[in-house]
Structure 1
Amino acid sequence: MLTTDGAVATIRFNRPRQHNRLDSADIAALHERIESAEADPALRVLVLTGSGPSFSSGYDLGAAQNSERAAPDAESCDDGEVAFSRLCDRVEAIRMPTVCALNGGVYGGSTDLALACDFRIGVTGMRMRMPAAQLGIHFYPGGLRRYVSRLGLATTKRLFLTAETIGAEEMLRVGFLDQLVEPDGLDAAVAELAGRIAACAPQATAGIKRSLNELARGTLDDRAGEAAFRASLHSDEFADALKAWSQRRPS
């Protein structure tokens, strides 16, 4: 479900009885909603959240296994785990900053979906777990990269190689969460953060986000970054912000 409020778009997982487990149809629908949000220039922030006790329990591996048994070829695989990995890559690449509002527990591949977002706010009492090794799954490269770049190698090894469940306070300590709040304070915390992001110049924000992601992947082109910096000094955004700054009023 996609809703908008001013400059903020929200995608909400709304299958609480299944702990917001995702299947191939959900992935296709999420791509559509992401495209819709990104195409609207008035939107500056995208929030991902869920309904019920969990943010998401990850991809429906049972459905994926049944699908591959029925048609064990590359295309059927793309409809499952590979499609989920591409969804996480797509979330990471969205032009606007993203906030994952973790209303509850997050498990399996959905931990990577959360890490693909730029910010993560969680609630007390939540937990996370990455059971890939226990389930016999060699996790996909993009997810491993996100884990290592966000959490560091040691923490990534701990979470993957032990399949340990950790609680909210530990999630905050290792850097999975940027902020931890009481459940009834989640909406306010997300709104405050989204408001701060939306107040920044959108083109500069999108460019900085892109360059930071490239830097984390080791693909940043210094010459392109320098060109973007110089171009920003001649942009309407900079001129408007400089004028507002000189008049001591919000831009």
Structure 2
Amino acid sequence: MSYNNILTETLNGITTITINRPSKLNALNRETIQELHNAFDGADQSKDTKVIIVTGSGEKAFVAGADISEFADFNVEEGGKLAAKGQELLFDFVENLSTPVIAAVNGFALGGGLELAMACHFRVASTNAKMGLPEVSLGVIPGYGGTQRLPQLVGKGRAMEMVMTAGMIDANQALSYGLVNHVVEQEELLAFCEKIAGKIMRNSSVAIAEAISAINANYKDGVDGYQAEIEAFGNCFGTEDFKEGTTAFLEKRKADFPGK
């Protein structure tokens, strides 16, 4: 599939999705959000993809925010629909993918850009990365899950400060806050993410999908995360991966998971 705003490449089990709007610092417009949805969906369904890495083109920005020109004249109803559609199509969609998603944050991740990074399963930042949710400086609030995912990752107090000041934090602050897992030099960023992806791919993709679902359950209203874990744990016992993993362990050999 061809895209106007993103690039995709699949190699050795890793699909890399690159947001490619350098003149707009990779800002998210509606077309880009739709294209990202299609790319993530396609990668998730592909047998050739075991891990997804998402990043931005160039050296300045992961995603510098949403494309404000698209919604500057929206009314209340249109604004609500914009947030609802975006969350459904991309941000919630990415969070709940069964394929692991790593955000390679290679520069500015602001507004919708940080919200996209937070929707990924975890984040690795380059040393030049800057992160923030500046929406209140425009008279609006984060609408793509930022008010929910940021406190889950960094705690309520820090999230309140970041949102209310509309300020940015650097990569090392993000690391100390727990917002990113690792910080590396920009030229090492993708290789580092690919190395982590390689470690992930050694394990059962079926079990990983169940683990993602169980971990996410703890953050959903009205869902008992412990019960979700019990059910996911039980589901694993009916898989070929479980049979292969346990057999390989008992036979003292490396498992060759069929992914079923």
Q: Is the shorter-chain TM-score for this pair beyond 0.5, marking a shared fold?
A: yes
- Are 1:133 and 1:160, in contact at CA under 8 Å, matched by a contact in 2? yes
Cα distance in structure 1, aligned partners of 2:29 and 2:224: 34
Correspondent of 1:136 among 118, 135, 139: 139
- Which region of structure 1 is more displaced relative to structure 2, 174-183 or 209-218? 209-218
CA 108–142 in structure 1, closer or farther in 2 if over 3 Å, else same: closer
Correspondent of 1:65 among 55, 61, 72: 72
- For residue 151 of structure 1, report the CA deviation from its aligned partner: 1.2
Correspondent of 1:230 among 211, 230, 234: 234
CA 141–124 in structure 1, closer or farther in 2 if over 3 Å, else same: closer
TM-score by length of 2: 0.87
- For residue 217 of structure 1, report the CA deviation from its aligned partner: 2.6
Correspondent of 1:248 among 232, 238, 252: 252
- Are 1:85 and 1:143, in contact at CA under 8 Å, matched by a contact in 2? no
Residue deviations 1:167-215, cap 9 Å, x none?
1111111111100001111122111111111111011100111110111
* Counterpart AA for 1:62: S
Cα distance in structure 1, aligned partners of 2:118 and 2:76: 29
* 1:83 and 2:79 are equivalent in the alignment: no
Residue deviations 1:128-184, cap 9 Å, x none?
121112211133383311111111101101110111221111111111110000111
The corresponding residue for 1:6 is 12
Aligned length: 246
Cα distance in structure 1, aligned partners of 2:240 and 2:172: 43
- For residue 224 of structure 1, report the CA deviation from its aligned partner: 4.5
- Are 1:88 and 1:112, in contact at CA under 8 Å, matched by a contact in 2? yes
Cα distance in structure 2, aligned partners of 1:32 and 1:141: 18
Where do residues 70-149 of structure 1 align in structure 2 (5 Å cutoff)?
72=75, 74=77, 78=81, 80-86=82-88, 87-140=90-143, 142-149=145-152
Cα distance in structure 1, aligned partners of 2:53 and 2:185: 18
Where do residues 154-193 of structure 1 align in structure 2 (5 Å cutoff)?
154-193=157-196
- For residue 221 of structure 1, report the CA deviation from its aligned partner: 5.3
Q: Classify the secondary structure of the residue corresponding to 1:21.
A: coil
Q: Classify the secondary structure of the residue corresponding to 1:217.
A: coil
Cα distance in structure 2, aligned partners of 1:136 and 1:14: 28
Cα distance in structure 2, aligned partners of 1:104 and 1:129: 12
Give ranges in structure 2 of 5+ residues lacking alignment: 1-6, 256-260
* Counterpart AA for 1:173: S
Root mean square deviation, CA, Å: 1.9
The share of aligned pairs that are identical, in percent, is 28
CA 121–222 in structure 1, closer or farther in 2 if over 3 Å, else same: closer
Cα distance in structure 2, aligned partners of 1:221 and 1:189: 31
Correspondent of 2:219 among 213, 216, 221: 216
The corresponding residue for 1:54 is 61
Correspondent of 1:153 among 141, 152, 156: 156
CA 105–237 in structure 1, closer or farther in 2 if over 3 Å, else same: same
Correspondent of 1:205 among 204, 208, 211: 208
- Are 1:92 and 1:118, in contact at CA under 8 Å, matched by a contact in 2? yes
